[in-house]
Amino acid sequence: MRFERKRARAGLVAAAVLPLVAGALVLGAQSATADQAAGRQLLSGTKPAWATTGSDKGATADAGQVTVRVYLAGRDAAGLTAYATAVSDPNSASYGKYLTPAQAQSRFGATQAQISAVTDWLNSAGLKVTGSNQHYLTATGDVAAAEKTFGTQLHNYTRNGHTYHAPATTASAPASLRGAVLTVSGLDNAPKKSTHDDVLPPPEAAFANSGPFSSSYGSNVDPKLPKAFGEHPPYVIKGYTGDQLRAAYGAGPYTGKGVKVALTDAYASPTIAQDAAQYAKLHGDQKYKSGQLTQVLPSDYNSTEDCDAAGWYGEETLDVEAVHAVAPDAGIVYVGGASCNDDDLLDALSTVVDHHLADIVSNSWGDIEENETPDVAAEYDQVFKLGAAEGIGFYFSSGDNGDNVASSGTKQVDTPGNSPWATSVGGTSLGVGRHNEYEFETGWGTQKGTLSADGKSWTTPVYTSGAGGGTSQLYAQPAYQRGIVPNALALANGGTVKQRVEPDIAAVADPTTGFLVGQTQTFSDGSVKYGEYRIGGTSLASPVIAGVQALAEQARHGRSIGFANPLIYSEYGTSAYHDVTDTPFGPKVTLADARVDFVNSENAADGTVTSLRVLGHDASLAATRGYDDVTGVGTPTSHYVSGFGRW
């Protein structure tokens, strides 16, 4: 699938061990079907749900070309799950006994014999193997050869006004391979378009915020503005900076020293180093030390137009500057994907794991769950479990469209944060006082009204955006959520099987109470220069939590937290968290801010528009006492940071 960056710019949304997952995804080598007795192993989930009889337009031409990735299951898939579970469980005797990348590969990775057997199978069936590594083999050939290889027929199907090919039945592999194949991707081509020899475009069009602003939450109130909910609304903040976020989430003396955070996104900003350095200098953040910010990039990029490559530059900039603001001594390694498509982002994640580039990995991208097929989910889960075995935790933004009904027509969660092996990060609206004291948080959910022409009233506010969350259709409830996530959420999809619920934890995300970021942009006069703007989205929340995890890991004297969810939920209901609700000052108090924006998004040449932003209204989701589907267990406090040190 093709991923979108999850950010909001100034209101744009932009074993003896218990199994970790009860009844979750069962794919590939773990499948047990009647077909195996007939000499084939079903690769479950390879026929997408959208490939229906009603949308079937007939067989794909035999001469058409197909490029596939055949993912390898490794030598002990069940053992990997058990080991990853044990080392991540604070109550296990194996907790924290992580493997090196070499040990993980030796114990759980594919053997050379498996790779050779899969290579021989693909070649003998008429496909040409064009590359291989420890995770997968790539192969190309015509449709007829692909159908012979995977025991299925490819048909053309209509979807959302387009035609794509996909397997008409579930793909399979020879049982004689003894479960060496996890799954195959590329048999369907929706919506994975790519081109070759692309170059990265220049920075995207400039964006700037108009004033007036508050310097801290609520500090600038204009009595000339009409009242909302009985009060004159304050102007929005210009954008929080490092000192404010560190104070809000209890950084104390910790700076992330000795810890490294990895960030993955598509592409790479060509000005990230100079932008990050200038931002730090302007806002009192610690100067970057030599080698503190590094990049690991692919040899080439693809799909730059389809993926809006320049739009990802701001995402990387936000991620880098937010982590450094919260954890100024932490090392940061940016790992770029060759595009915004699954295969390329999986390569970026695997690069982190294969070389253990960091213990903490923040990922500010995702897609809706209906676009995820079980085969692709299995590929992500395998990377996450290998990371867990090594002491690496993956953090994903939960999305910026609330329950996704307004954006997709269907109530659903975002992926890959839906995986029980990833930490899903939800979002809040944050109030920080004039002395950097934490004042309040609500769940991030924004309603917008505009100032009337006569300036005497506000139009009725309507929903615009909010933190993603809800109940997965794909994954069963993981063990760490048992007894904590309310049944009303775990069973929200109907039936009797409890499901995975997002998010797990949260931090500031509302662009109305967002973070000030600095980035090189292209201005309307043709100049390309540094500029600053306030930004939000759960792609702010994810790097903020990654920075907080760096602080907590320093408090543990450098011992990796690894896959954090079991530990996060073990602290549920304690002083480790702010228990965030949508009404922090009681049900009779509604919080709202006034915001002035440039009509042309850059300057006042075309005038400004004033709007009201109402906090704490996230579609059908709600931040309530206890666990909820907007903020998870809550947001971190100083006890979270220092308390993790005892484990």
Cα torsion 361, 364, 368, 373: sign: negative
88 in any annotated domain: no
At 445, the amino acid letter reads G
Res 102 pLDDT > 50: yes
pLDDT at 32 over 60: no
Cα(616)–Cα(630) distance, rounded to whole angstroms? 10
pLDDT score of 20: 41
- Residue 647 pLDDT exceeds 90: no
Residue 504 pLDDT greater than 60, yes or no: yes
Put simply, whether the predicted model's pTM sits higher than 0.75 gets the answer: yes
Please give the pLDDT value at position 8.
66
* Separation of alpha carbons 479 and 83, rounded Å: 15
- CA-closest candidate to residue 326, choices 251, 214, 216, 407: 251
Percent of the residues in the chain that have a pLDDT greater than 70, as a whole number: 93
- CATH number, domain of 450, equals 3.40.50.200
| Number of compact structural domains in the chain | 1
pLDDT surpassing 90 at residue 4: no
Give a yes or no: residue 97 inside a domain: no
Amino acid at 16: A
pLDDT band at 203 (very low <50, low <70, confident <90, very high): confident
Nearest CA to 246 out of 430, 487, 500 is that of: 430
Q: What is the pLDDT of residue 578?
A: 98
User: Each residue of 339-348: pLDDT tens digit?
Assistant: 999 999 999 9
- Over residues 280-321, the pLDDT tens digits come to 999 999 999 999 999 999 999 999 998 999 999 999 999 999
Evaluate if residue 65 carries a pLDDT over 80: yes
Q: Is the pLDDT of residue 14 over 60?
A: no
How many alpha carbons lie under 13 Å from residue 403 in its C-beta half-sphere?
Answer: 19
Q: Kindly state whether residue 66 falls inside one of the protein's structural domains.
A: no
Averaged pLDDT, 497-506: 98
pLDDT confidence of residue 196: 28
The predicted pLDDT at position 381 comes to: 97
The rounded mean pLDDT for the chain is 92
Which structure tokens are listed for 378?
Answer: 């299995």
- Please report whether residue 281 resides in a domain: yes
pLDDT attached to residue 28: 41
440 neighbors 431 (Cβ within 8 angstroms): yes
pLDDT at residue 70, rounded to an integer = 97
Q: Does the pLDDT value for residue 231 go beyond 90?
A: yes
* Residue 603 maps to a domain: yes
Does the pLDDT at position 195 exceed 90? no
**Is 580 strand, coil or helix?**
coil
φ/ψ bin of 494: left (φ > 0), alpha (ψ from -120 to 50), beta (otherwise):
left
Task: Band the pLDDT of 371: cuts 50, 70, 90.
Answer: confident
Give the pLDDT confidence score for residue 374 in this predicted structure: 85
SS3 content of the chain, % helix, strand, coil (to 5): 25, 30, 45
pLDDT in tens, 418-432: 999 999 999 999 999
What was the pLDDT predicted at 199? Answer: 55
Identify the CA nearest to 420 among candidates 394, 452, 455. Answer: 394
Is residue 259 a contact partner of residue 558, using CB atoms and an 8 Å limit?
yes
Give a yes or no: residue 184 inside a domain. Answer: no
Asked if residue 625 belongs to a domain, the reply is yes
Range of 242's domain? 207-374+388-560+579-646
How sure is the predictor about 45, in pLDDT bands with cuts at 50, 70 and 90?
confident
Q: Does residue 226 sit within a domain?
A: yes
* pLDDT value of position 18: 34
Q: Sorting pLDDT into bands at 50, 70 and 90, what band is 44? A: confident
Token digits for 57? 């337009």
